[in-house]
Structure 1
């Protein structure tokens, strides 16, 4: 069982590690400009795209669990329809975003706090990067489907390629051509379309037979779309809670001042580094739990859940040690501005304990997605988000920025605890062999 977990987890870990690396490179490129406003602008622009893209992450999460169950049943027709419906919805969403881009950025900058300079730079970043939307959302779907097919290798190849192209392009545009925030945004656009081309090549190499199941009328059939959206709707609300919490976190950081925004943005890279690493095991959970749920193998299902938590706890302890011993060095990767490093270092202890408060939530997310328990997943996230806001508003007047980090740790811990309490309500864990 551990071999199966690592077979899926390790490629996903390698895949995910390139994502925070990209964020670190963007922070580095902007952190070595002549003002903290550039770091703040990329952070604020990133929040807007987190809101936009994470809003559609429900397509990937619902697809991977449903595809894994179809794979477990050996239902090739359903495997195909899930992919085609997902891509259809992704491309439609991407085109709509391009059409309403001005409204999205105007509303975002009204809601988000920050200086006028940061907001102007964030808008410039947005108007370039938004052109990657159709490709970026489609790639979520495609990678989710590959994972459901128990194939973690293709998403790894695609994601690493995307991020290498993104990093190289950003360096060329910023360092070589003298661009600022527009340069890192353009690097994202170029890389996403390279990713789409590569994913099409890989799909045709191994899954060309799926094309024989293509039926456009079946793709847009109301019953099929509704079945897909019923699961997706709950996961969308769950994801919306995550978006709201992280958007609020960055917005309140910006409202405190450009220096706190820059410091908190650098520290968030620690959280993203940890989360993308643990997501490797969450993705393995989606694939394996979905497969064993589809094949009704309850014994293997319970065994994989137990082993996943052993791996999650072990890596959480590793990250505690890394953050405690190497925190200041990691901060130097993002910026050479002494004032930003000094402020960030005050709040570093909250990041050191975060792996312990957060690891179980990532493992449970993968398990809940694998069994398509979208409603319970939604409910636990709503409760955790409520804890976040209650704590922040209770503590902000006395603790300031510390209140944000206490609330964030409590949010992560709450997710895991609520899911632990409710998992026995899942039908697949109520019995069976």
Structure 2
């Protein structure tokens, strides 16, 4: 067996090395949201009904992409541990099993949308009609790309695990650029209208999935499904999925409470929360670097180096958060006006803004430590922590904000409480060292 591929990784993981993993991951993370913006701009000129249909269908596709992110995160840590132990073939084998799981889920989603896309669209719209029919038609076509979308997610997972950031960058970016060019051509000159958007989307996802599958084949290892490995990955994905559901429930509840304070409040909340999601996307790239580096260090048996690296990543995350806080504070008088010309919305945005600024440094550390624990395979702790912080902090706080008429400030104070609770628990876990279990798998 070769020398452990990452025996010196923890000690040598300079900010430059971390950036070398995080920046390509950021491009990959941003590619899909940016394509959705292009798609929205193209379809928006077709009229109100196609745009509304895209909004409904796009929401479903976003949930499928989120499912892919769960598969990717679960794969990265396991693959990185194998890679860190010096067994590249076993690291790639984790990718093979994740790809079989992703393909099966993708086929189920695609088939499900053919059978139930109409009913789902009508449920989301709330009634039958032109929007529901158009959304169902879009969904049935776009869902044909679901196997490719989820294969690409699994591919991102194992390639990040072996610290290959170049191929995922091109395997995601190139198909999305192609789709961004195809979309307006199919929608307008080809005369396909909304259908052209769905076709372009399915083509991009299928090409991306095929590129990642080809990368697996070129590794020249066994492609045979191994049920016991798939079961282990399902357990990890289950915990990440439950954690994600807790997040989704919390933010949906926050939006519901904001709506009770009026249109201006919920509009301002939407502006602030989307900006929060954007900064979270950037910081999530650091979390992906953490998953890869921590998993590799523990796989190489370097628990001391992994602990030192975790502290370094937390400091870098906090520093990034401080930079974001300064930029957001400086843009307080300008940024809300980019999203709304309504004076009431801008006034309400200023209520949330101080809390939004305060969240950044705390969130920077939390996102980095989330990546550390995912890379270490300590996902059950993260799952339980998120549920406790949501049920014991965030949800009671935002509903109390409604009961006592605390307005948008009360909601964002609840969000800050949610993140602070996670920060304290993560720092305690980091200090305990119980997460730093060495070995090829946890």
Q: TM-score, normalised by structure 1?
A: 0.81
Describe the superposition over 1:129-166 as per-residue Cα deviations: whole angstroms up to 9, x where unpaired.
Answer: 32221111111100000000111222222232243234
Structure 2 runs not aligned, ≥5 long: 1-12
Instruction: Determine whether 1:389 maps to 2:392.
Output: no
Q: Distance in 2 between matches of 1:416 and 1:322?
A: 22
Name the SS for the 2:164 alignment partner: coil
1:338 maps to which residue?
Answer: 341
Pick the aligned partner of 1:192 from 192, 197, 205. 205
Question: How far 1:297 sits from its partner (Å)?
Answer: 0.9
Q: Distance in 1 between matches of 2:62 and 2:409?
A: 23
2:80 maps to which residue?
Answer: 68
Q: Distance in 1 between matches of 2:195 and 2:307?
A: 48
* Contact kept? 1:90, 1:137, Cα under 8 Å: yes
- Kindly name which structure, 1 or 2, has the bigger radius of gyration based on alpha carbons: 2
Instruction: Determine whether 1:270 maps to 2:262.
Output: no
Q: Distance in 2 between matches of 1:119 and 1:416?
A: 42
1:90 maps to which residue?
Answer: 102
Q: Distance in 1 between matches of 2:422 and 2:82?
A: 28
1:226 maps to which residue?
Answer: 231
Of 183-192 and 309-318, the range deviating more from structure 2: 183-192
Matches within 5 A, 1:111-150: 123=136, 125-150=138-163
Structure 1 runs not aligned, ≥5 long: none
Question: How far 1:412 sits from its partner (Å)?
Answer: 3.5
Q: How many residues align?
A: 419
Of 356-365 and 48-57, the range deviating more from structure 2: 48-57
Q: Distance in 2 between matches of 1:176 and 1:265?
A: 35
Q: Distance in 1 between matches of 2:267 and 2:136?
A: 17
Name the SS for the 2:163 alignment partner: coil
Pick the aligned partner of 2:368 from 349, 363, 366. 363
Instruction: Determine whether 1:59 maps to 2:71.
Output: yes
Q: Point out which structure has higher relative CO (alpha carbons under 8 A, 6+ apart).
A: 1
Q: Distance in 2 between matches of 1:169 and 1:363?
A: 37
Q: Distance in 1 between matches of 2:188 and 2:328?
A: 30
* Contact kept? 1:70, 1:78, Cα under 8 Å: yes
Pick the aligned partner of 1:211 from 203, 220, 228. 220
Of 248-257 and 49-58, the range deviating more from structure 2: 248-257
* Contact kept? 1:12, 1:156, Cα under 8 Å: yes
